[in-house]
Amino acid sequence: MTRGHSLGTSVAHLDEYASAETPIGRIDPRAKLLTTIAFLVAVASFGRYQVLSLVPLALYPIALIALGDVPSGSLLWRLLLVSPFALLIGAFNPLLDHTPLGTFGPVHVTGGWASFASIMLRFVLSVSAALLLVATTGFDAVCAALARLGVPRILVVQLLFMHRYLFVLVEEVSRTSRAFALRSPDRSRPSMRVAGTLLGQILLRTLERAQRVHSAMICRGFDGEVRLRRELRWRAADTAFVACWSAFFLLVRSHDLTRWLGTAISGAIG
Amino acid sequence: MHMSDALVSPLVAASAWAASSVVSVLSARALKRDPDDRRVPLMGVLGAFVFAAQMVNFTIPGTGSSGHLGGGLLLAILLGPPAAFLVMVSVLTVQALFFADGGLLALGCNIFNLGFFPSFVAFPLVFLPLAGQRPSRSRLALAAVLASVVGLQLGAFAVVLETRLSGLSSLPFGTFLLLMQPIHLAIGVVEGLVTAAAVIFVRDARPDLVPFGQATSPLAFRPIGRLGGNVLLTAALLAGVVSWFASGKPDGLEWSIDHAQHQGGVRPPESALHSFFSGLQSRTGILSDGTERASESWPAVSPRGSLAGLAGAGLTLGLAILIGFGIRAVRRGASSNPARSLE
Amino acid sequence: MSHHLVAFEDVTFAYPDGTAALRGVSFRIHHGESVGLVGANGAGKSTLLLHLPGILLPSSGHVRVGDWPVTAKTLPQVRRSLGMVFQDPDDQLFMPTVGDDVAFGPLNLGLPSDEVEARVAGALERVGATHLRQRPPYKLSGGEKRAAAIASVLSMSPDILVMDEPSANLDPASRRRLIALLRSFEHTKIVATHDLDLVQDVCTRTIVLRDGRVAADGPTAEVLGDDALLGGCHLERPLRMQGCPRCGPRK
């Protein structure tokens, strides 16, 4: 349950870094969203054995960290917290795929190892891009961008409300779980029956809260529609941001920059 | 089990995104036709509840492992399919953005696996017919367990299928399936029981909050009717398109075996659409499904070539980090005001 | 003066499960009055408050707010003239930022955007929370949350302010600030609370509820000095009106 608690507090911290005072913070959230999507597509478009030519794409997250004043330490920590599903499934590759690909001196590289490395690298790149989108933009602004890009209003309002009550509910669950842990020191997890009742209790309080929130809303004239004012202004800088990064992704995709640099340097040395 | 960005190919991701978007839009429209101002806070708070409830890990008897609530079925019981689906969309989106659970690219897959199956298949086709209007405790538990098992089995199967179609993992289809389905059978039973326990608890304490047996309940237990039909039809259509697409492409693993043994493998059936896309792919590389020749991707097989590749990679990464530090140093120097404090 | 008046006429209310919460409540509150509503847990305070904006409608009897009888048809008008601050600010602050929350009411009224802006700025300034405008509610302290919640109803320019336990969960300094703020409002005020010291500071009149009935209704000093009455209602004198523990009981 410690993971849960750290998750709860880390939600609160991630978009704290978002600020309009950094160069990245000033970019229109729509531009950042579109660029993130382009980046993810670029990463995913590399083949299963491609590892080294993926490396130049790391420039994007690194530049965002630098331009957006994002503390890189906490970002790395977050990457480690992530559920290990990809690692688990990827780890089978070296065992199953023995296609010979090349040698580094005495070491033979098989397709399995190459694709495993590729999966890991994709994982780090795409995960950091998603985290950086929120860290440099803020969840609220991401939602504003979604609304302007045509996502149904009901869904945008749902995202905002859910995000708002995340902290309240995570705190409530932590309190209840702590009360359980204090009274059952020899059990690390609740049994199924206890979990059902525990969740039932929290669910009950949640439904009551929904009722109270609804009361508070109708007292202020709520009629079913949430009116949100958000002004987004698309400037030339935003177009440039999207265009430059997309061009860079295309360049990395179409030319093997890594090999080119490597050949250049080994040519210069020897 | 969340599908991951690292395992999904752009084509599979895009298809799942398309399917999930269509279902989202249809669900949003269904809710709009049937407005209820209580739903906005209820959906929001329940989304947060599902998120938080997933922090509670409980023991799965007999296995020594632990599971947590998925939430899709519980939401469907409380809210009805379209609202439950949209709440799951919001939960999974926040997980992808804040915790990189799954990731953005695989979000479409995850919405489909964890949102669509419980709310639009397991709930209306299994839970509702079994539970009826005023279920007894045992009947409710039975319906919840079966519905949850069906939802999770479909979800797990979809994960295997999506991973397989993406062709990045080398796990053979059968092995992967044997790895996933039995685990999710156990999780499904437990999740069903926990869901039933939670619903029964609330029903006993505040019958007015749970829709069972209340003819006037506006929030749930609507017959799915036209919307359900539409959604199922669209999903089936999309699934058909995707599988047709996928079958037109050689699979990554088949290809690598084929490549290693230098034998002719099964060639994909050619179609106009397929040749159009492979043309597009060879030009842009965007629609790659991980089947290009290993020798093209990996630096040349000679040791010298490999070393050059490695050196290049190190240099590129170093350069990128250097640029990062450079930007930071320049900005520190340029800004006269001290760095923002993070309170 | 007839308007800005709140009137209960023999109101009874029972919850769907049969629990009778109000058993014949009658009182009248006039323009500019400041009324404390006190009583033990379960005496019916919250149920009574929920009748004001018509979230609950009486089983029998009548409720009047301003110029309107509270019925299903008049709810929009009633809710416009009444600002209700709920006990838990987390229930009241549901929007992404404090500014959005304060703008929520005015936007629902359909006001033009410069008027909305003026109302938001005015309400935030009134409670001293202008600097909190861009902050999300979950990052506020208890006192800040309370101030923001009050601003979110002030922006609707209500005639009557209703508060449920406004001093709950506040540290002493925040509580002191809240009292100063409440004293500065000229609105008709109804404050339901267990904090009798706050009642003494803010309210000129006090209504005591016991088991769904009005047990006492009179000037605050009189009601809060009646030990027999308070004891029967699970209450006790405000600390300030109790004797000094060292010098012995005050007579």
In this structure, the answer to whether residues A86 and A157 fall within a common structural domain is: no
**Residue A268 domain-assigned?**
no
Domain-embedded: residue B31: yes
In tens, the pLDDT along C4-14 reads 589 999 999 99
- Provide the CA B4 distance to its chain's centre, in angstroms: 8
Q: How far apart are the first and last CA of chain C?
A: 39
Nearest by Cα to B46 from B78, B15, B70, B20: B78
> By the 8 A CB rule, do C37 and C190 touch?
yes
Instruction: Report chain C's mean pLDDT, rounded to a whole number.
Output: 89
Q: State the residue for tokens 């609330």.
A: B202
Domain of residue B18, residue span: 5-247
Overall domain count for chain B:
3
Amino acid at A59: L
Claim to verify: residue B259 and residue B322 sit in the same structural domain: no
pLDDT tens figures, B81-97: 999 999 999 999 988 88
Same domain, B189 and B319: no
**Interface contact B48-A162, CB threshold 8 A:** yes
Residues A30 and A107 in one domain: yes
- A179 and A144 in a common domain: no
Number of C-beta neighbours around residue B343 at 10 A: 5
Specify if A266 maps to a domain: no
Total CB pairs under 8 A between chain A and C: 81
Helix, strand and coil percent figures for chain B, each rounded to 5: 70, 0, 30
pLDDT at B50 over 80: yes
Give the model's pLDDT for residue B244: 47
Grade residue B248 by pLDDT with cuts at 50, 70 and 90: very low
Binned at pLDDT 50, 70 and 90, residue B264 comes out as very low
Least confident range from B143-152, B210-219, C223-232: namely B210-219
Calculate the alpha carbon distances from C227 to A2, B232, B311, C74, C205 in Å.
50, 69, 87, 41, 17
Which residues of chain C have a CB within 8 Å of the CB of A226?
104
Say whether both A16 and A131 belong to one domain. yes
DSSP code, position C64? E
Highest mean pLDDT among B284-288, C69-73, C228-232, C235-239: C69-73
Based on the domain organization, do A211 and A164 belong to the same domain?
yes
Whether residues B41 and C94 touch (CB distance < 8 A) is answered with yes
Per-residue confidence band for C199, with pLDDT thresholds at 50, 70 and 90: very high
Report, as ranges of residue numbers, the positions in chain A whose pLDDT lies below 70.
Answer: 1-14, 16-20, 80-87, 101-108, 187-188, 269-270
**Whether residue A80 is found in the same domain as residue A95:** yes
Residue ranges of chain C whose CB lies within 8 Å of a chain A CB = 50, 53, 55, 75-76, 79-80, 82-84, 86, 88, 90-92, 94-97, 100, 103-105, 107-109, 113, 116, 136-139, 152-153, 156
Residue in B40, B104, B209 closest to A161 by CB? B40
Domain with C73 in it: what CATH number?
3.40.50.300
Percent of chain B with pLDDT over 70: 64
- Report the pLDDT value the prediction gives residue C219, as an integer from 0 to 100: 94
Same domain, B88 and B131: yes
**CATH code of B192's domain:** 1.10.1760.20
Does B339 reside within a domain? no
pLDDT score at B120? 92
- Report pLDDT digits (tens) over C127-147: 989 999 988 888 899 889 999
Domains in chain A, number: 2
Say whether C37 sits in a helix, a strand or coil: strand
Closest A-chain CA to B66: A189
Which residues of chain A are within 8 Å of residue B287 when distances are taken between CB atoms? 45
Domain closes at, from B247, B273, B308: B247
DSSP C242: S
In the prediction, which pLDDT does C250 show? Answer: 55
Q: Which of A5, A133, A217 minimises the CB distance to B41? A: A217
Within-domain flag for A52: yes
The pLDDT confidence band at residue B45, using thresholds 50, 70 and 90, is very high
Domain contains A270? no
Please say whether the beta carbons of B167 and B9 come within 8 A.
Answer: yes
Instruction: Please indicate, yes or no, whether residues B279 and B307 belong to a single structural domain of this protein.
Output: no
Q: What is the pLDDT of residue B236?
A: 57
Share of chain C above pLDDT 70, in %: 96
Q: Are residues A25 and A105 in the same domain?
A: yes
Give pLDDT, residue B327: 79
Domain that residue C163 falls in: 6-237
Do B84 and B191 belong together in one domain?
A: yes
Q: What is the pLDDT of residue A35?
A: 94
d(CA B199, CA B75): 10
**Could you tell me the pLDDT band of residue B343, with boundaries at 50, 70 and 90?**
very low
- Asked if residue A250 and residue A123 are part of one domain, the reply reads yes
Residues B230 and B262 in one domain: no
Pair B314, B172 in one domain: no
Asked if residue A204 is part of any domain, the answer here is yes
Instruction: State the ipTM, two decimals.
Output: 0.88
Asked if residue B277 and residue B159 are part of one domain, the reply reads no
Mean pLDDT lowest among B43-47, B58-62, C161-165 = B58-62
Gap from A242 CA to chain B (nearest CA, Å): 17
Give the model's confidence band at B274: pLDDT under 50 very low, under 70 low, under 90 confident, else very high: very low
Higher pLDDT, A255 or C195: C195
Instruction: Report how many domains make up chain C.
Output: 1
Is residue C239 very low, low, confident or very high in pLDDT (cuts 50, 70, 90)? confident
Q: Which of A219, A222, A223, A230 has the highest number of chain C CBs within 10 A, making it the mutation to test binding with C?
A: A219
Q: Examine the fold and report which residue of B231, B247, B263 is the final residue of a domain before the chain moves on.
A: B247
pLDDT for A104: 61
* Min Cα–Cα distance to chain C from B55, Å: 20
B173 and B264 both lie in a single domain: no
pLDDT value of residue B249: 38
What per-residue confidence (pLDDT) applies to A256? 78
Interface test with B, best of A154, A213, A215, A226 (most B CBs within 10 A): A154
**Do B42 and B147 belong together in one domain?**
yes
Place B252 in a pLDDT band, splitting at 50, 70 and 90: very low
Is A267 contained in some domain? no
Lowest-confidence segment of B144-158, B217-231, B298-312 by average pLDDT: B217-231
Please tell me the least confidently modeled range out of B119-123, B200-204, B213-217: B213-217
The span from the CA of B202 to the CA of B74, in Å, is 12
Of all residues in chain B, the percent with pLDDT exceeding 90 is: 20
Q: Are residues A211 and A250 in the same domain?
A: no
Same domain, B125 and B260: no
- The reply to whether residue A164 touches residue C95, judged by beta carbons under 8 angstroms, is yes
Q: Are residues C66 and C159 in contact, defined by beta-carbon separation less than 8 angstroms?
A: yes
What is the pLDDT, as a whole number, of residue C248? Answer: 64
Within this chain, do residues A34 and A82 fall inside the same structural domain, yes or no? yes
Print the domain residue range for A73.
Answer: 1-150+233-261
